[in-house]
Amino acid sequence: MPGPTFFLRHLQSAGHGRIIVVMNDTTSAVEHLQAVGFSEYEARAYATLVQGGPMTGYQLAKASGIPRPNVYPVIDRLEKRGAVTSVDVGGGVKYAALPAADMLARLSKSVESHLSGAGSALRDLANAPASEYAWNVEGYDNVIVHAERAIESARDRVLLGLWSNESARLAEALARAQARGVEVVVLCVQGCADECGNCRGEVYRYAVSGEHTTRWLMLVADEREALVGQVTGGGDARAVETRLEAVVLMTAQYLRATIGVAEIVRSIGSRLPKLLDREALNAVQGTGLAVEGESWLKRLTSVVRRSRA
C-alpha cells in the first residue's frame, strides 16, 4: 500500500520541549474498511484522522500519504458518508473523524438495508420468465457440477439418461433430491447387466447408446431445464445447458419414450409384429426409421434382448 505506515509528528509545547508522537500502523483498519466498500484513499484518510485527530487537508495528505490533489475529493466523499466532519479553528478548517462506533453503526444499517433490497429484487428476478439461452459447458468436472446444480434445483422430478461412471458422481445429489421428495427416473443408457448401486429412483437399463465409446449424459429437471452432454473415452466432456422449451421437452420426451417403448417390447417380445397393423409394421420394419440399415424394431428388440441377457 503506498504511503507510510507510521509517521513521527513533532510538537513544540511551551514548557515541554520537543515531544515525539509515534503513529501506529493503520494497515489492518484500512484493509477492513476497503472490504466494506471504502476506497483505499477513503480508508487511509479516515484511519489517519481517527488516529491523529483533526487535521487540515494539507496535514492529512502528508500524514496519510494521499496525493494532495486527491485529498479534498476524498474528504468530500467521507463527509457524504457521514464519516468525517469539518471543524472551524482559528480562521481555518480542519477535518475530524466522527466516532468510529457511530460511523460503523450507520454503515452496518446501510449495508443491511441494501442486502435486504437486493434480496427482494433478486427474488423478483427469479420469478421473471426464464431465459431461453443455451450455455456451453466444457470440462468433465464442470459438467458434473452443472448437473448437480440442476438436480439440486429440482422440486418435482428429475429424468436422467447416463452411464455408471456419471451415476457414481451424481449419486449423492440424487439421494438428496429423493430426500426432498423429488421423483427420480433413470435410464441407464449403458445397459449395465448388473445394478451398480449408484442409480436412484426408478431405474431402467437399456443399452441405447450402442457400442459407442462416447458416454451420454441427459438430464431434465422439472420439465424446465435440460443438460445434454457427452464424455469421450479420453475423459473430455462437453455439454449444453438450456431452458429453451423445445430442447427441454424433446430431451424429456426422448427419455420417456425410450423407457416406455423398451418396456413394451420387453413385455410383448416376439408377439409385437402380430399385434401391429400393416401401416405400423411398415414403419417399424421399414427403412424410414432404420439406423445404419437396421430397422427400428430389430434394433430395439436387440437392445431389449441384450439388456435382459
Query: Is 34 found in the same domain as 13?
Result: yes
Write the CATH number for 43. Answer: 1.10.10.10
274 is a domain residue = no
Give me the pLDDT at residue 18, please.
Answer: 41
292 is a domain residue = no
Give me the pLDDT at residue 13, please.
Answer: 37
Query: Is 230 found in the same domain as 146?
Result: yes
309 is a domain residue = no
Residues 290, 277: Cα–Cα separation, whole Å: 19
Query: Is 142 found in the same domain as 261?
Result: yes
305 is a domain residue = no
Contacts 24+ apart (CB under 8 A), 165-169: 165/215, 165/231, 166/215, 166/217, 166/231, 167/196, 167/198, 167/199, 168/196, 168/198, 169/144
Query: Is 263 found in the same domain as 159?
Result: yes
Query: Is 231 found in the same domain as 113?
Result: no
Give me the pLDDT at residue 280, please.
Answer: 84
Query: Is 221 found in the same domain as 143?
Result: yes
Give me the pLDDT at residue 213, please.
Answer: 76
286 is a domain residue = no
Torsion angle of C-alpha atoms 269, 275, 278, 284, degrees rounded to 10 = -30
Q: Is residue 41 within 8 Å of 81, Cβ to Cβ?
A: no
Write the CATH number for 188. Answer: 3.30.870.10
Query: Is 252 found in the same domain as 146?
Result: yes
- Locate cell 472551524: which residue? 88
Q: Please classify residue 24 by burial: count the beta carbons closer than 10 Å to its beta carbon, then call 0-12 exposed, 13-18 middle and 19+ buried.
A: exposed
Query: Is 21 found in the same domain as 71?
Result: yes
Neighbours of 32 (CB within 10 A): 13
Query: Is 110 found in the same domain as 80?
Result: no
Number of structural domains in the chain = 3
Query: Is 254 found in the same domain as 144?
Result: yes
Residues of the chain below pLDDT 50: 1-22
Query: Is 147 found in the same domain as 48?
Result: no
Its domain, for residue 105, covers: 98-128
Query: Is 255 found in the same domain as 138?
Result: yes
236 is a domain residue = yes
29 is a domain residue = yes
288 is a domain residue = no
Give me the pLDDT at residue 87, please.
Answer: 86
